[in-house]
Chain A
Amino acid sequence: MTSWLSRLNLKKMKKYKTLYLMLIPGVIYLLINNYGPMFGVIIAFKDVNFAKGIMASDWVGLKNFEYLFKTTDAYIITRNTILYNLVFIVLNLVVALGLAILLNELKNKFLTRFYQSAILLPYLMSSVIIGYLVYSLLSMETGLINNTILPFLGREGVMWYNDPKYWPYILTLVKIWSTAGYLCIVYFAAVVGIDQEYYEAATLDGANKIQQIMKITIPLITPVIIIMTLLQIGRIFYSDFGLFYQVPLDSGVLMPTTNVIDTYVYRALLKNGDIGMSSAAGLYQSIVGFIIILISNYVVKKINPDNSLF
């Protein structure tokens, strides 16, 4: 203890006392908002009884987890969370990268800026607004698709909000619509940063556009692609709550294809008041999520230490 203290060099610390004081609000905030709940995860091992108080409730070991993993829900929410995220990551990458490369080929700077603004706009929308936009298209009585597009094609209206089988496609389209623009802007910034000399040299050597893209553009922005993708993989056990809750209008019928871990935890806690199940599912997410983040950060660090979190 004393050696630890002397290593700290109290005299030197005194010089920085204002800096330490500045840290106080943020540190207190993090202790409450972040570290408090981290220790709070112990409720997953308790049978919470509000009459006794949370801390005095009985320990039940792994009972809550046993119940959780006996249900088919545990499998469905894990499967949905991971599969959706994998599809989102791959399709977002393909769409965003493709658009970024095309955008870079445009000569007209004014139009380039206009397109950038248009494709980035959806990224600014709250999922509530996205819920309204999707509803205006898919509403079964008044939606544009059932009233205009399907009749035009000579088809009957579809009960979109009553059938889970459509939702993997709908949610994927909505996700790409709302986030590919953001990734496109990031990749576009990387593409613009490539030194023009590479392309001039390639043109002199007779390389065509496709060859230049495959041999220069993509290899040179690969570090950015890898980092962006690994950041998303690090969060593969978490979902965009609004997308899965708001866009399907919180519909019970659609749950087989729209329930993910985040929506399950929310519903178990606030709709069913089942603290055991929800805290078990929440801790399951926190722990697996933590392991995945550590692994992906380790990989990021191997590739480019500057981009790793720690």
Chain B
Amino acid sequence: MKPNKVEQWIINSIFIVISLLCLIPFIILIASSMTSENSIIQNGYSLIPGEFSLESYKYLFQEPAMMIRAYGISIFVTLIGTLVSLIIMTMLAYPISRRDMPLRNGISFFIFFTMLFNGGLVPTYLMYTNIFGIKNSLFALLIPGLLVSAFFVILIRTFFTMNIPNEVIESAYMDGAGEFRIFARIVLPLSTPVLGAVGLFQLINYWNDWFNGLIYITDNKLYSIQVLLNTILLNAQYLLSNVNFVDDMGPAEEIPNNGLKMAIAVIGVIPILITYPFFQRYFAKGLTVGAVKG
């Protein structure tokens, strides 16, 4: 073989090992969710089911209310949150992208300062719970994440300044279009790449968010899928004491607790695993735009 070919083989082998390291934990998770409880207790979680069984999923779908509810809340919060967040962020980013607007620098500083200093968890928590009373409401899952970071606003603003020529706006203005019309009909349609990237990040942020659920939600009827997963992982008794598996499926000791945990995690992660191949290109592109252009 030519040295060049050997080199390619070596690099490929390194990446195969690394790719496996990235993927194997997911395979263990999925395989374990399809393993019989006896087999898990004897041999532990493994890459290949010792004894294939769908009993964990059977239990889960026996009482589907818990999962459906959590799923519904996650989907609702993710869609509404992303939409509102995109609207607020683009409406902040557009005016400060207009070089001629008076007060532009002051407003920009007002926005960017939030990236430098923050009051931290305690005043935020006390304000939201005591003044706005969002504890145990869906607002707690929606509102704190709307503007995760002013960085997204900078990203959108930079895109506007670099890609929307001032002449386009000026000529539309001359034709008698109002500012809002220019924004909605001309600027936004030209900005789908950056809106798509930021929207994708926000979809992922909302879907993955569990922290707001952890601090603001104690009522298990309002658990999103991540909060439910978090509770089940940290509180071994939760499944046994909060779900009525017992009635239909026999005594509590027979609940496949170890397998059930994995099955629930699989259901929580499956939307991302399934859609990832379709959005990964945009995601990777968005990441590099965000990182290199500040």
Contacts and interface: CB of A to CB of B under 8 A. Distances in A.
> Which of A124, A134, A189 has most B Cβ within 10 Å?
A124
Nearest to B269: A129
A126 B180 contact: no
Interface residues of A, number: 104
B98 interface: yes
Contact of B127 (A36, A265, A297): A36
Nearest to B94: A22
Given A30-B110, A102-B15, A106-B11, A137 B28 contact: yes
A102 B154 CA distance: 32
A27 B25 contact: no
Contact of B116 (A18, A147, A242, A293): A293
Given A129-B265, A309-B116, A29 B147 contact: yes
A91 interface: no
Nearest to A278: B122
Nearest to A132: B265
Nearest to A304: B294
A169 interface: no
A9 interface: yes
Interface in B180-220: 180, 183, 204, 207-211, 215
B249 interface: no
Contacts of A285: 120
Q: Is the interface of B mostly helix, strand, loop or mixed?
A: helix
B117 A250 contact: no
Contacts, number: 288
Contact of A105 (B11, B41, B143): B11
A135 to B, nearest CB: 7
Interface residues of B, number: 95
A9 B262 CA distance: 64
Nearest to B204: A124
Interface stretch (A70-78, A82-90, A112-120, A199-207): A112-120
A181 B262 contact: no
A18 B147 contact: no
Given A127-B210, A132-B262, A144 B45 contact: yes
B265 A26 contact: no
Nearest to A188: B288
B268 interface: yes
B45 A143 contact: yes
B95 A16 contact: yes
Given A36-B123, A132-B29, A142-B258, A22 B44 contact: no
Contact of B288 (A9, A108, A186): A186
Interface of B: 7-8, 11-12, 14-15, 18-19, 21-23, 25-26, 28-29, 32, 40-41, 43-47, 87-89, 91-92, 94-95, 98, 101-103, 107, 109-112, 114-127, 130, 132, 143-144, 146-147, 150, 153-154, 178-180, 183, 204, 207-211, 215, 226, 229-230, 233-234, 258, 261-262, 265, 268-269, 272, 276-277, 280, 283-284, 287-288, 291-292, 294
29 contacts: A18-B178, A19-B101, A25-B87, A27-B107, A34-B114, A34-B119, A39-B119, A102-B14, A105-B7, A106-B11, A120-B284, A120-B287, A124-B204, A126-B209, A128-B210, A128-B229, A128-B230, A128-B233, A136-B25, A142-B258, A144-B44, A146-B44, A186-B291, A189-B292, A190-B292, A289-B117, A309-B115, A309-B154, A310-B109
Given A106-B15, A125-B272, A269-B122, 19 more contacts: A25-B87, A30-B111, A36-B124, A36-B127, A37-B119, A38-B123, A54-B126, A125-B269, A144-B28, A147-B46, A148-B43, A224-B291, A242-B211, A249-B233, A266-B215, A286-B120, A290-B116, A309-B112, A310-B112
